[in-house]
Amino acid sequence: MRIIDIIIKKKQGLALSPEEIYFFIDGYVNGEIPDYQVSALLMAILFKGLKNDEMLALTKAMLESGEQIDLSLINGICVDKHSTGGVGDKTTLVFAPLIASCGLKIAKMSGRGLGHTGGTLDKLESIPNFSIDLTSKEFINQVNDISIAVIGQTANITPADKKLYALRDVTGTVDSIGLIASSIMSKKLASGANFILLDVKVGKGAFMKTEEEARRLARAMVDIGNGFGRKTVAILTNMEEPLGYMVGNSLEVIEAIETLKGNVNNDFKNLCYALAQEMLLMTSSCKDEDEALFTIEQKIKSLEALEKLKEMITYQHGNPEVINDYSLLPQAKSQIEVKAEKAGYVAELNALDIGLAAMLLGSGRERKEDEIDLGVGIKLSKKVGDYVNKGDTLFTLYSNGKNEDKAKEKALNAYKIVSSKVNPKPLIIDIIR
């Protein structure tokens, strides 16, 4: 078997066999097939696409290129959630403790933020001394003890995906549905959960800009998950505007804690509840949506979900006092309120521009090795559908002096104010089962 023949076959639009896909992945991981030939194959895949059988074979090959987490030692139903990334998306910080308080086990590996999208690990590391590095034994024991752990991805999980992603990033081949679906699902399957819920973001602040693209990606990932015997559901959610009111690592931790305290009633809370409802139904923990919603509301009202977050922070060596004392989190030196220049209704709040503005302040990274400032970010005061008087605060920059003028200009450009009332787009676009 030769890699050149595989490249030509895919260039002609023909489906690759599982053996050919295994040959390509194994040869690339072992250094036997060079970058330039893999780059050619990736470009052919980008243009010609992958059929379902090819996506399953590629996912399996990447999955088997490294270690897989064995969750059989965990007593109970293991679940996982994945978001394709957005602005202000701190959902795991509420969803995970909420689901754990409902009796399910969530053993989760999360990632760091890149570009305008935030990462769960960065948010958690805003909490003083919080450790994302646990041994496999510590990870399993913690989930058995308190039903929840969120850690970083281990070095040996899907090494083929790591190599391929780095190459896709520099060869313009990131935006292939088949490659994205296989990349995400190889990591989710390696994590070992039997139930996988996917939050697929759609809109200006998401990787998938159109509903059609998002639907194709969601369908592909659901088919892969179910093809591996894991019950998988995808929810398409709106990312035209940021999720919630806080964008930035420690700011988002505060919004998540306030949500678990029952003090938040916005789109972020609604999404956390919708995702938790779906997971309770997927696992047959509740018989219908009404019972699931009642269960969720009781766990928030009783503060049991908040207690799960506190337990996780304690187990992972963080300071649990952050629950009640936000001054323990990284702080920005200055808060700059930016006012509306005219009256009207907010018709648009471009999530991408807000994410880029926060990144200019230092809350995100352009490259994986970049340092980030955990204390900076943006607090939104007005969102789509809100009425604004001239001189009202639109947003507040939490800054340590970096790129303030550029960030202010970028965030102001995110707002479009008109004279007629505009209603926000629905948060939940569709559910793919």
DSSP assignment string, 314-380: HHTT--GGGGT-GGGS---SEEEEEE-SS-EEEEEE-HHHHHHHHHHHTSS-SSTT----TT-EEEE
Give the separation between CA 361 and CA 401, rounded to whole angstroms.
Answer: 8
Catalytic positions, written as ranges? 82, 161, 168, 183, 187
Instruction: Work out the angle between the directed axes of helices 159-171 and 35-48 (0-180°, nearest 10).
Output: 80
Largest interatomic CA distance in the chain: 69
Using DSSP, how many helices (H) and how many strands (E) does the chain show? 16, 13
The residue among 116, 89, 90 whose CA lies nearest residue 355 is 116
Q: Is the dihedral of CA 69, 74, 77, 81 positive or negative?
A: negative
Cβ count near 342 (within 10 Å): 11
Q: How far is CA 248 from the centre of its chain?
A: 14
Give the separation between CA 312 and CA 91, rounded to whole angstroms.
Answer: 16
Q: Is the dihedral of CA 188, 298, 295, 73 positive or negative?
A: positive
